[in-house]
Homo-oligomer: A and B are copies of this chain.
Amino acid sequence: MNASPLKVAALIFPRFELLDLFGPLELLGLLKDDVTISLVAQVAAPVASNQGPKTIPDLTFEQFEGADVLLVPGGMGTRQEVDNAVLTDWLRTAATRSKYITSVCTGSALLARAGLLDGKRATSNKRAFEWVKSQGPAVHWIPKARWVEDGNIFTSSGISAGMDMTLGLLARLYHRDISLSIAAAAEYIWNEDSANDPFAEEN
C-alpha cells in the first residue's frame, strides 16, 4: 500500500483510557505489514491505564524520532498531565516531527495545553467539555462533531469516537475503500459522517 510502512506512535501516560488508545490502534493495525506501532512514554516503565491493565512503552520521549501519525489518548490521567511540562514540551516537539496529529477524548486537552490547537477547530469528550475548553481558550471548540479535522490535526469526541476518526484518517491517507475494508475486517459499524454526533447535548 505504501512504499514504506505507516509509522504510528501513540503517547501513553498513567490512567490513559483503554479504548481511546487501543480502538484506533486496532484499526491502524489492520494495515498489517503496512504499519508499525510504537507506544511512547515519559519513562521506560509499565503504564497503568484508567481501567487497571498495564502496558509497556516501546520508546521514551527522548527516543522518539518522528511518526506519520501521532495518537494522543485521553482518560482521567489528563487531569494531571495537563500540568506536566515535560509532556507538553515533548508534544510540541513531537508535533513538528509528525505528519498527522490525532487525539481521542480528553487527549485534546493535552494538545491544547501544548498550544498545538490555538486558532484551530477541535473537539473532545462531551462530559468533560467545559474542563477541556478551559485548557485552550484560544481554540475554536466544536461541541457537536464525531470528530474534527483541521489541517493535519484530527481530534475526536469521547472514547469510542476515536475509532470513527481513525477510519476518517485512513480515508484521507489512502482511500475510503481502505477504511471500508478495515471496518469490515474488524466487523466495525463505521459512523462515517464526522458531523453525525448522537451524543452531543442539545443546547
A residues engaging B (CB < 8 A)?
17-19, 21-23, 25-26, 28-29, 36-39, 46, 50-56, 58, 125-127, 157-161, 163, 184-189, 191, 198-199
Contact = CB atoms under 8 A, between A and B. Distances in A.
A189 to B, nearest CB: 6
When all copies of this chain in the complex are counted, the total is 2
A125 B187 contact: yes
Contacts of A161: 187
A23 B125 CA distance: 17
Contact of A189 (B52, B127, B189): B189
A26 B188 contact: no
A46 B52 contact: no
A53 B37 contact: yes
Contact of A160 (B52, B56, B189): B189
Given A37-B52, A55-B55, 15 more contacts: A18-B22, A22-B23, A26-B159, A29-B50, A29-B52, A38-B52, A46-B56, A52-B58, A53-B55, A54-B56, A55-B56, A56-B56, A127-B185, A158-B185, A159-B185
Contacts of A187: 125-126, 157-161, 199
Contacts of A157: 187
A182 to B, nearest CB: 10
A37 B127 CA distance: 24
The residue in A46, A51, A159, A161 that gathers the most chain B C-beta atoms within 10 A of its C-beta is A51
B22 A19 contact: yes
A23 B46 CA distance: 20
A187 B145 CA distance: 12
16 contacts: A19-B26, A22-B22, A22-B23, A26-B159, A28-B51, A29-B50, A37-B53, A39-B53, A53-B55, A55-B55, A127-B185, A157-B187, A159-B187, A160-B187, A160-B188, A189-B189
Query: Which 5 residue pairs spanning A and B have beta carbons closest together?
Result: A29-B51, A19-B26, A158-B187, A22-B22, A160-B188
